[in-house]
Amino acid sequence: MSMTVSNAVDLDSKIPNNVGLSDDPKLKRALERWLPNYLEWWNDMGPTDFADKPVYLRTAVSVGNDGWAHYDHVKMPDYRWGIFLTPRKDEESTIRCGDDLGAPSWQEVPGEHRNSLRRIIVTQADTEPASVEQQRLLGHTAPSLYDLRNLFQVNVEEGRHLWAMVYLLHKYFGRDGRDEAEELLNRRSGDPDKPRILGAFNQPCDHWLSFFAFTMFTDRDGKYQLAALKESGFEPLGRSTEFMLTEEAHHLFVGQTGMGRIIQRSAQLERQDPNGDVRNQGGIDFDLIQRTINYWYSYSLDLFGGEISSNAADFFATGLKGRFRENKYDDHVAREGSYDMKVVENGEVVDKSVPLRNAMNEVLRDEYIRDCERALRKWNSVIEEEGCSTVLTLPSRRFHRHQGLYTDHYFTPEGDLIDKETFEKNQLKWLLRPEDNDYLHSIMTPCYAPGKFANWIAPPARGVDGKPGEFEYVRL
């Protein structure tokens, strides 16, 4: 069965889409029943208090590369959340990795992969509303209208990502899928009884330093998960995540440049202050920035799953999930080959060789780490250009982990094995402290005048959609 996927988006439909929803009345009805529940969730758990303010948002109107984004002032509850799949040519519609490499990809869910696929989709889906919940109060402390707009853009697009996954659940997983879609609106980030599925998505995101670190590090995990799913032999999932990646790029931009702008401003304030005291100038000191990096980066590393994983091996072998840019590899089967990693044995960190398929989570984590290292290099060059000597670093992948091989051990940010007592004595030096929030809240008073920015962050290099500095991104 082929899919009705086109470049043009049906914008007149209650649910904008390019999947031919009007040809599938049963599915259309089911999704239209889910819509009010979604809106109720958005009103309860989405951004607080800005529902009646027009925000300069982009909306997808086409899925082609030729400028799919349409910009306009929209009130968030009126945002046109839709279902978009990237069209593919027939020759791209084959299984891209594993034992069935080259076989036609699946247009329907194969029975033997049903549970795995549902789990993969639900886990991805759950992160989308979770991050909206984590960020819901941040509008009150935004450093500018530009940043406020970016926050809301990220929020509505995470909402759309939820739609993308709920469409798959409704269309391909019958009753179970509909139940899962309901549950996605019932779990809550940080709720002790009904938490979100993954750890990082239950951590509080109390202020803009964490927001930028979250979009930098945690959304970036999302990029790599989506990129691995884009290679999926289940074609609707591959096409859906491929389109999500185009939106995700903006979230990473918000995080990387947001952190970059804080770092630039901190360097300026350090030089400005007679004692080099950034806090004395109302800025965010590099020690706090480093601890924020340590915190969010380590939680984000957890999201890739166990270093040695039979699930990861199965997902790859069956073609459910590929590697980042699978086509750049020569060998898409990976039955041979091994991966060398560090493990803890008898109180020591030693090398261990693992069959490549079992190390697929680690292979993806490596790509992620390289990407983060590029961002760190950029930030450090900004610090240097401003005439300061601080060098920010990423902690070791073993530091402060809650998933995988290193969970039950303790490491310094440099990756040296230490005992629990030493870790506990030092953790306030390495990670966020409760009193950080008091300081950050004291400086994060909202700055809503068009063209103005809070003292603790530098303005961006350019506006959204080529708009000038004074542009009213959110009409308050």
Task: Work out how close the CB of 270 gets to Fe ion at its nearest, in angstroms, rounded to a whole number.
Answer: 31
Q: Which span (231-239, 247-255, 289-297, 324-332) binds Fe ion, by CB under 5 A?
A: 247-255
Q: Please say which residue, 113 or 230, places its beta carbon nearer to Fe ion.
A: 230
Task: Work out how close the CB of 248 gets to Fe ion at its nearest, in angstroms, rounded to a whole number.
Answer: 5
Task: Work out how close the CB of 397 gets to Fe ion at its nearest, in angstroms, rounded to a whole number.
Answer: 22
d(CA 355, CA 334): 9
Token couple for 346: 């008898």
Per the listing, tokens 């109390």 go with: 206
Q: Please say which residue, 235 or 248, places its beta carbon nearer to Fe ion.
A: 248
Q: Please say which residue, 163 or 379, places its beta carbon nearer to Fe ion.
A: 163
Residues 307-326 that bind Fe ion (CB under 5 A): none
Q: Which span (81-89, 160-168, 186-194, 462-470) binds Fe ion, by CB under 5 A?
A: 160-168
Q: Please say which residue, 158 or 270, places its beta carbon nearer to Fe ion.
A: 158
Q: Which span (10-18, 89-97, 245-253, 324-332) binds Fe ion, by CB under 5 A?
A: 245-253
Task: Work out how close the CB of 131 gets to Fe ion at its nearest, in angstroms, rounded to a whole number.
Answer: 7
Contact 104/94 with Cβ under 8 angstroms? yes
Task: Work out how close the CB of 379 gets to Fe ion at its nearest, in angstroms, rounded to a whole number.
Answer: 20
Q: Please say which residue, 219 or 436, places its beta carbon nearer to Fe ion.
A: 219
How many CA atoms, within 13 angstroms, populate the side-chain half-sphere of residue 7?
A: 7
- Between CA 218 and CA 298, with CA 401 as vertex, the angle to 5 degrees is 30
Q: Please say which residue, 55 or 226, places its beta carbon nearer to Fe ion.
A: 226
Task: Work out how close the CB of 44 gets to Fe ion at its nearest, in angstroms, rounded to a whole number.
Answer: 20
Here's the x/- map for Fe ion, 419-438, by CB under 5 A: it reads as --------------------
DSSP state of 474: B
* φ/ψ of residue 439, rounded to 5: -65, -50
**SS3 letters for 130-164?**
HHHHHCCCHHHHCCCHHHHHHHHHHHHHHHHHHHH
Q: Is 161 in the site for Fe ion (CB under 5 A)?
A: yes
Task: Work out how close the CB of 197 gets to Fe ion at its nearest, in angstroms, rounded to a whole number.
Answer: 14
Taken as a whole, the chain contains a residue count of 476
Q: Please say which residue, 150 or 290, places its beta carbon nearer to Fe ion.
A: 150
* φ/ψ of residue 25, rounded to 5: -60, -35
Q: Which span (128-136, 234-242, 295-303, 379-387) binds Fe ion, by CB under 5 A?
A: 128-136
d(CA 111, CA 116): 10
Q: Please say which residue, 161 or 400, places its beta carbon nearer to Fe ion.
A: 161
Contact 209/284 with Cβ under 8 angstroms? yes
Beta carbons within 8 Å of 150's beta carbon, 6+ residues apart: 254, 258, 464
Q: Which span (175-183, 251-259, 409-417, 461-469) binds Fe ion, by CB under 5 A?
A: 251-259
Task: Work out how close the CB of 412 gets to Fe ion at its nearest, in angstroms, rounded to a whole number.
Answer: 31
The strand ranges marked E within 28-127 are 54-60, 69-75
Q: Please say which residue, 16 or 159, places its beta carbon nearer to Fe ion.
A: 159
Number of residues that bind Fe ion (CB under 5 A): 6
Per the listing, tokens 């919940």 go with: 133
Q: Which of 368, 375, 357 is nearest to 311 (CA)?
A: 357
DSSP state of 324: T
Q: What is the per-residue DSSP string for 328-343?
A: G-S-SS--S-EEEEEE
d(CA 138, CA 151): 8
Task: Work out how close the CB of 312 gets to Fe ion at its nearest, in angstroms, rounded to a whole number.
Answer: 21
Per the listing, tokens 């706090």 go with: 288
Q: Which span (69-77, 135-143, 159-167, 169-177) binds Fe ion, by CB under 5 A?
A: 159-167
Q: Which span (205-213, 246-254, 431-439, 456-464) binds Fe ion, by CB under 5 A?
A: 246-254
Task: Work out how close the CB of 277 gets to Fe ion at its nearest, in angstroms, rounded to a whole number.
Answer: 35
Per the listing, tokens 């708009």 go with: 467
Q: Which of 267, 261, 164, 278 is nearest to 216 (CA)?
A: 261
Task: Work out how close the CB of 41 gets to Fe ion at its nearest, in angstroms, rounded to a whole number.
Answer: 16
Token couple for 153: 């853009």
**Amino acid occupying residue 262:** I
Q: Please say which residue, 189 or 358, places its beta carbon nearer to Fe ion.
A: 189
Q: Please say which residue, 105 or 135, places its beta carbon nearer to Fe ion.
A: 135
C-alpha distances out from residue 112 to 167, 314, 318, Å: 21, 12, 10
Q: Is 219 in the site for Fe ion (CB under 5 A)?
A: yes
Q: Please say which residue, 131 or 390, places its beta carbon nearer to Fe ion.
A: 131
Task: Work out how close the CB of 162 gets to Fe ion at its nearest, in angstroms, rounded to a whole number.
Answer: 8
Residues near Fe ion (CB under 5 A): 128, 158, 161, 219, 248, 251
